[in-house]
């Protein structure tokens, strides 16, 4: 028995690959593994402007795969809040609605619901979490976890949710 030079786990003498860390002992195979790792590094993207973020969210209206940057998500939230405020004001002015949550507001909220869920899913993917975790917010206490994950910086490495 010998120890792996990379992870120090005990392995068989005639082993060509460590069963614990996956590193190869043959120099050619080790170089191939290194090249494979270097090509799979995720290149973080720069922040989006407000208009770029809104265009991206509408272009990916119901796309739940991939990753979304923090700027993309938070500019979308700002856009949705501004559209909601404008719709509420128009409800009061045009439709003489007694309260701000009139029919125009609900139409815009319904129209923005699917892209909101999609961009939140992609944002959670950026932090290496499943979009299904949004359901945690239904418990009340889970909403704090979701908010935290939406706020934190995304993973700068390639992860399971990257589009290949």
Percent of the chain with pLDDT over 70: 79
Asked whether residue 89 falls in the same domain as residue 22, the answer is no
Q: Is residue 104 part of a domain?
A: yes
* Residue 98: predicted pLDDT: 74
The SS3 assignment for 11 reads strand
Q: Is residue 161 part of a domain?
A: no
* Residue 80: predicted pLDDT: 96
Q: Is residue 72 part of a domain?
A: yes
* Residue 34: predicted pLDDT: 57
Domain that holds residue 82: 50-151
- The structure's pTM equals 0.70
Q: Is residue 116 part of a domain?
A: yes
- 2, 6, 32, 64 from 17: Cα distances, Å: 12, 11, 13, 37
* Residue 46: predicted pLDDT: 77
**Residue written as tokens 């050619």?**
28
Q: What is the mean pLDDT of residues 53-81?
A: 92
Q: What is the mean pLDDT of residues 127-146?
A: 91
The SS3 assignment for 2 reads strand
Asked whether residue 101 falls in the same domain as residue 30, the answer is no
Q: Is residue 159 part of a domain?
A: no
Q: What is the DSSP letter of 43?
A: -
Tell whether the model's pLDDT for residue 78 goes beyond 90: yes
Query: What value does the mean pLDDT of the chain take?
Result: 83
* Residue 164: predicted pLDDT: 43
pLDDT in tens, 24-54: 666 665 566 555 554 455 566 778 899 999 9
């Amino acid at each position: 028995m010998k120890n792996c030079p990379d992870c120090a786990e005990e392995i068989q003498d005639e082993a060509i690959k460590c069963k614990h860390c996956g590193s190869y002992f043959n120099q050619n195979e080790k170089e191939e593994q290194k090249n494979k790792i270097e090509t799979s590094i995720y290149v973080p993207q720069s922040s989006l402007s407000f208009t770029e973020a809104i265009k991206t969210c509408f272009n990916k209206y119901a796309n739940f795969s991939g990753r979304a940057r923090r700027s993309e998500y938070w500019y979308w939230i700002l856009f949705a809040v501004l559209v909601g405020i404008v719709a509420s004001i128009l409800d009061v002015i045009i439709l003489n609605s007694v309260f701000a949550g009139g029919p125009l507001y609900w139409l815009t909220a319904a129209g923005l619901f699917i892209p909101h869920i999609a961009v939140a899913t992609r944002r959670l993917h950026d932090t290496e979490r499943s979009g299904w975790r949004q359901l945690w917010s239904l418990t009340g206490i889970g909403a704090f976890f979701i908010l935290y994950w939406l706020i934190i910086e995304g993973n700068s490495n390639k992860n399971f949710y990257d589009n290949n």
